[in-house]
Structure 1
Amino acid sequence: MNLREIVGKLAGCPASDVGPDFRLDGPGLSGSMKKSILIASVRRQLGVECMRAAQAKTFAELESVVRAAASAGAKEPSESARVLAGDLERGELPAGLRCGIDVEAADALPLAQDYANHEFYRDAFTLDEIAYCAGQANPRIHFAARWCAKESLKKCDPVFLTERMGSIEVVRRETGGLRLVHHGSSGRRDLEHAVSIAHTDSIAAAVVVAPVR
């Protein structure tokens, strides 16, 4: 599958309709969820890690950033990531209570016959999360709730802003509550952030509160 076919599939139109001026903010391609699906598809189908794909407004811009990412191969951290890292080292993050909130519709997530082998779900969720959600009567609402928790973490704590969704896990405690776990280069780490999720049959929401530093 090439880039034009990826965009056409997400937008629900023939690949032949995807020209240089094709807008990436239309139906099927707008919103953080759809942008993440696009990034995951580019990674899985083309073997290119390109977070800047989410910022492209047209197909021509998308082609340009994906081509640049493919040429660069393993990239250095972005300027914003370097600035953030410097702030963290100097202890310059804002003090006090920080809270992140996110809401998502279940039907914004892609349909899948096999969640464990679907590029989006494998990219955004751990195998344990996939096993739990896929075993529920309405898998997508449970995936949406966990997606919201991960988005909320990124919103309230910039340390995780550039982390891949799949490196963050929502884990059920034996007592029935939830906690967040980060899988990084140094291994698994339980996070101190408080997390709560809720959902109806069609809408999921989550709130994450960062520990006071």
Structure 2
Amino acid sequence: MIAGIGTDIVEVDRVASKLQKGDDFLKHVFSEEEIAYCSRQKNPAIHYAARWAVKEAYLKAAGVDFIGNHKLSCIGIKNELNGKPFIVLSGREADLFEQRQYKCIHVSISHTTQYAVAYVVIESER
């Protein structure tokens, strides 16, 4: 059963601007693994923007408010060998997933040089 659907769009230039301000933004929003992955890419800002969009889309799909204590770096995005993205949760986000009896997260990401967009669908057991 579908428990929630979320979507988000992020301007790549906005992320590029935040990246120039230093590591605080990176450490607050991204996991160490995501930072390593994005830093290796030809245009890191595009990949950071895509991952930020996934995190925001996930929170919308989960139906949580943005005022709460949601640590975005606990919502990690990885890729399967074929490139398909998936979400790995840790900390409070993993606890919330379990409490709500969610069973599966589907993710789709797309980007251009200007925008990154993400869609997240969460399935539950009930």
Would you say same fold, with TM above 0.5?
yes
How far apart, CA to CA, are the structure 1 residues paired with 2:94 and 2:2? 28
Note if 1:168 corresponds to 2:75: yes
Relative to structure 1, the CA distance from residue 150 to residue 131 in structure 2 (aligned partners, 3 Å threshold; closer, same or farther) is same
TM-score, normalising length: structure 1: 0.48
- Structure 1 or 2, whichever has the larger Rg, is 1
2:75/2:89 contact within 8 Å kept: yes
Q: Give deviations 1:100-149, integer Å, cap 9, x for gaps.
A: 00001111121338xxx610011100011001111111111110000000
* 2:112 equivalent to 1:112: no
Partner of 1:195: 107
Indicate conservation of the 8 Å contact 2:19/2:26, yes or no.
no
Structure 1 consecutive aligned stretches of length 4 or more whose deviation exceeds 6 Å: 186-189
Q: Is the 8 A contact 2:19 2:25 kept in 1?
A: no
Say which structure, 1 or 2, has more relative contact order (CA 8 Å, 6+ apart): 2
Higher strand share: 2
Instruction: Tell me, in whole angstroms, the C-alpha distance in 2 between the residues paired with 1:129 and 1:152.
Output: 17
The AA in structure 1 aligned to 2:49 is: A
The residue matched to 2:33 in structure 1 has which SS? helix
RMSD: 2.6
Change (3 A) 1:128 1:203: same
Where does residue 46 of structure 1 map in the other structure? none
Q: Is the 8 A contact 2:38 2:44 kept in 1?
A: yes
Q: Which has the higher helix share?
A: 1
Q: Which of 116, 122, 125 is equivalent to 1:204?
A: 116
TM-score normalized by the length of structure 2: 0.79
Task: Give, in whole Å, the separation in 2 of the partners of 1:96 and 1:184.
Answer: 23
Q: Which runs of 5+ in 2 are unaligned?
A: 98-102
Query: 1:195, CA displacement in angstroms?
Result: 0.5
Match among 154, 179, 201 for residue 59 of structure 2 = 154
Unaligned runs of 5+ residues in structure 1 are 1-94
What fraction of aligned residue pairs are identical, expressed as a percent?
33
